[in-house]
A and B are shown apart, each in its own frame.
Chain A
């Protein structure tokens, strides 16, 4: 059974993770072969995931670092002071 644009969008999560059943995957690929907007949609959905996965960590603000040092010191004592 052929899929339309909406059905393709609903199945995208399993399509991009490779978890889609073979039959449905073939129907999606057939649809992509004749629907340029859906090709772009799938590509930009993938880009969204890929870019999010590349987000670097945000450094802790200096005042938080100091606050956490005090917490750790009060629990562990001066002998085990973190060096950060």
Chain B
């Protein structure tokens, strides 16, 4: 759903919503909720809302933005309904990175390069699975921001509005989420010494 800025040239038809937008709703919900069954319920809820309001969006470029917002709200509502919000304490990854390393002048453990090329155009199936698993393991407040920023490509200000957070809070969560993801992926991609 990253085409928020440019608008949509083609008219919104039932077929287009079903073929083009339903998979996007499903992917966003699945990654936010980390659960296939919940994502399916949310996709159905959102599709129903779209079907009922589609007439008001025919030819409108605001549709993808609206759909993002509706999907995020539906996913958060679904999570609240299930009362699965995680209460576990999350260690600050910055503390872990420098824990016991004195005054921040040294890393707590060796930092090794990864055997991954930034130019690799397509991720192999195993890498995709590792990234999806690491995202699903993020604590929910960090996962929400990470998915919206680094998977969906939304700007921080838009995420802040959707999640009712300040922009600095979004940036702080996003940074920590990225550090947690880096730490989770590192053992899989580090070059063998």
Binding site for B on A (CB under 8 A): 4-7, 9-10, 12-14, 37-38, 40-41, 43-61, 64, 67-69, 71-72, 75-76, 80-84
Could you say which residues of chain A place their CB within 8 Å of the CB of B52?
75
| Cβ contact within 8 Å between B44 and A4 | no
| Cβ contact within 8 Å between A68 and B43 | yes
| Cβ contact within 8 Å between A13 and B27 | no
Whether a CB of chain A sits under 8 angstroms from the CB of B57 is no
CB distance from B53 to the nearest CB of A (A): 11
CB distance from A62 to the nearest CB of B (A): 12
- Knowing A49-B178, A52-B181, the reply to whether A76 touches B51 (Cβ < 8 A) is yes
Could you say which residues of chain B place their CB within 8 Å of the CB of A57?
23-24, 27
Give Cα A41–Cα B27 distance, bound, in whole angstroms: 30
Whether a CB of chain A sits under 8 angstroms from the CB of B162 is no
Give 22 CB contacts A-B under 8 Å: A4-B104, A4-B105, A5-B98, A12-B175, A13-B171, A13-B178, A40-B113, A41-B107, A45-B178, A45-B179, A47-B116, A47-B118, A51-B123, A52-B146, A52-B150, A52-B151, A57-B24, A61-B36, A67-B40, A68-B43, A82-B19, A83-B15
Q: B103-142, CB under 8 A of A: which get 1 and which 0? A: 1111100111110101011110001100110010000000
Given contacts A13-B175, A64-B44, 17 further A-B contacts (CB under 8 A): A4-B104, A5-B98, A6-B105, A10-B94, A40-B111, A43-B113, A45-B182, A47-B189, A52-B151, A54-B123, A56-B123, A57-B27, A58-B27, A60-B43, A61-B40, A76-B14, A80-B15
CB distance from B57 to the nearest CB of A (A): 15
CB distance from A14 to the nearest CB of B (A): 8
